[in-house]
Amino acid sequence: MRKKLALYEATIQGGEKYHQLFYKSHGLSLTILVDEPGIIKNNEGDFQGIYNWSNKKILCFLKKRNIKQILFFSHRIQDVMLANYLRKNNINTSYMQHGYYEITSMKRTLSGVLRKIYRFKTILLRSLDSLLNLKELTCLLYPLILHWVFLKNFKKEFLNPYNSCFVFNEYWQKKHYEIYNCDRNSVLIAGNFDYKNLFIEPQSNYEPERIYICQSLYEDGRISKLHFQQALAQLQNIDAIKYHPRSDKLLYSELHANKISRIPIGSTVIGHYSSLLISAKAMGCKIELIGIEGHKTPKSFFEELKNTNRQKNLTDFCPVEIITSHLF
């Protein structure tokens, strides 16, 4: 019998990315739950849009398909509320780190919040299943609001809703203890998807390129459009661009750079504080940082980048195998 796993993602682009990474795993049956409005279509896998679904409806869907494992890739309010509900109803919930995280950099602009206002509908739907237990709802929402609105770490009273958390390395293992109040036995090192999937060995005649790494700072509402455009204006002699799955590509049209999906090792990689910059340094690329007016680069990013050196055998880590072997 094939092992069944649900992958929960905020966007169709993210769902497609993780489907490609996991579907090759032998004997694994995947269902991709996409928390995004609109019609979700993908001819290569079992994708299901759940934007208008309550926690209870999602639970019924999983039980009907006899899916007992679900893997999340984020800690948004609606994600945590759903994971908490599913865990209490005997669904094993897990989380995989997907990028660089620093609580002080998560502040949103007003325009950014308004662009994402449709997400509050999902939060309300996920709250309905807890309305009959006001104490439970308060205990869940209070630390989430402190975290996402006032940028505070989760308190000891907050029970992390994930049975297991998979992170990049020991640095992030410690961060997850501090930020998410995780049980120390539940945070496991799985490595980084980027090493195998976003980098390639260059051809023998390769001339190193200057590659800009997009980060979803404007798209997620963390900086204004004006400040982001001013940062882009600093870029010079860009040969190629690596988009983020949520990139607004119109913002980058003036760069006149080639789109790439994988970064040749040895390139010069330019960006702000994407986790991909740290991965690129570890893989042997040169790094250039671009500051953004009105947005402070987290000190912890500089700390991790400084302590990152080129490493061998990074591609030996296979996060998919580590995750699936732990779950099943």
Any idea how long the chain is? 328
Q: Are strands 210-213 and 240-242 parallel, antiparallel or unpaired?
A: parallel
pLDDT tens-place string over residues 263-307: 999 999 999 989 899 999 999 999 999 988 877 888 878 888 888
In the predicted structure, residue 188 carries a pLDDT above the cut 50: yes
User: Does residue 16 surpass a pLDDT of 50?
Assistant: yes
In sequence order, the 6+-apart residues with CB closer than 8 A to the CB of 14 are 73, 98, 245
Asked whether the predicted pLDDT for residue 113 surpasses 50, the reply is: no
Judge whether residue 84 has pLDDT over 90. no
- Contact present, 235 and 288 (Cβ < 8 Å): no
Instruction: Give the chain's mean pLDDT.
Output: 82
pLDDT greater than 70 at residue 107: no
pLDDT digit string, tens, across residues 210-254 = 999 999 888 877 888 888 888 898 888 999 999 988 888 998 988
**Lowest-pLDDT range, 27-31, 66-70, 173-177?**
173-177
- Write down the pLDDT at residue 242: 95
Phi, psi (deg, nearest 5) at residue 123: -60, -40
User: What are the domain boundaries of the chain?
Assistant: 3-189, 195-315
pLDDT at 151 > cutoff 70: no
Residue 171 has pLDDT above 90, yes or no: no
Phi/psi for 325 (5° steps) reads -65, -30
Topology (CATH level 3) of domain 3-189: Rossmann fold (3.40.50)
Q: Give, in degrees to the nearest 5, the angle at Cα 303 between 302 and 308.
A: 95
Across 146-150, 202-206, 236-240, 298-302, least confident range: 146-150
Residue 149 is predicted with a pLDDT of 58
User: Which tokens sit at 185?
Assistant: 């036995």
Q: Tell me what pLDDT residue 17 has.
A: 87
Query: Residues 6 or more apart from 24 whose CB is under 8 A from it?
Result: 320
Residues 168-183 have a mean pLDDT of: 82
Mean pLDDT of 146-160: 58
